[in-house]
Amino acid sequence: MAALDPGGIERDHCLHHPREAADLAFVFGNRIAVPEMAAAAASLFLEGLVPRLLVSGGATPGGPGTEADAIAAAIVTRGVPREALLLERRATHTGENVTLSLPILAEAGLLNSGKIVCVGLFCTGRRYAMTLHRHWPAPEKRCLPVEYGPVRRGAWHLHPEARARVLGEVAKVPAYLAAGFIAPWPSASAPTK
């Protein structure tokens, strides 16, 4: 069995790009880290780095309503105007987050975006970007990871639950590539189209 390389996994899968201006933040829904997701997404808008936020996520176990509505409500409480948000409320997995959001982005005139920021769970950044790249290859993609509980940069491998989650995400990438769910996308050292 190969030795675990936490630094390599963080570099290649738990992407964290510098904060910079973009046309849109694409917020991948979940129920695990709603306050943390909202804080990360809201900060991009409030710092003037993005003018719009698309929040995607349907009804899933773990709470009432949709993931998109839960995260959006928390974003608004942080001072982001409701008009800055676009919501996709049907997605049940990452592929649907993207495919069901594309018509919403088209209607809002955002499909010609040059740069987008993927906002999502710390351990899933590469897969988010690769899913976006599969269905919407044109924009340049950056990732803003959201840490939650013990799933934190530099420490996740010390906690059994966090370690299992991160390694589970790493294991998905080859299978998802083979199935065509995601498309090859550059590593953190070359975060371009």
Pairing outcome for strands 53-56 and 115-121: unpaired
What are the Cα distances from residue 26, in Å, to 4, 5, 21, 163, 178?
Answer: 31, 29, 13, 26, 25
Average pLDDT over residues 57-71: 91
Residue 66 lies in domain: 13-179
In a domain, residue 193? The reply is no
Provide the strand spans (E) within the chain: 24-28, 53-56, 85-88, 115-121, 140-146
In a domain, residue 119? The reply is yes
Of the two residues 188 and 74, the one the predictor is more confident about is 74
In a domain, residue 5? The reply is no
Of the two residues 3 and 75, the one the predictor is more confident about is 75
- Helical ranges in 25-159 per DSSP H: 34-46, 67-77, 94-99, 102-107, 125-135
CATH of the domain at 53: 3.40.50.620
CA atoms within 13 Å, Cβ hemisphere of 77: 12
What are the Cα distances from residue 109, in Å, to 24, 128, 158, 183, 190?
Answer: 11, 22, 44, 24, 28
Q: Which tens digit of pLDDT belongs to each residue from 164-192? A: 999 999 999 999 999 999 999 875 444 43
45 in Cβ contact with 155 (< 8 Å)? no
In a domain, residue 1? The reply is no
pLDDT class for 17, splitting at 50, 70, 90? very high
Q: What pLDDT does residue 62 have? A: 77
Question: How many structural domains comprise the chain?
Answer: 1
145 in Cβ contact with 25 (< 8 Å)? no
Q: What pLDDT does residue 192 have? A: 39
In a domain, residue 171? The reply is yes
In a domain, residue 162? The reply is yes
Of the two residues 144 and 152, the one the predictor is more confident about is 144
| Tokens linked to 79 | 């001072």
In a domain, residue 188? The reply is no
Mean confidence (pLDDT) of the chain:
92
83 in Cβ contact with 52 (< 8 Å)? no
In a domain, residue 31? The reply is yes
What does DSSP assign to residue 151?
A: B
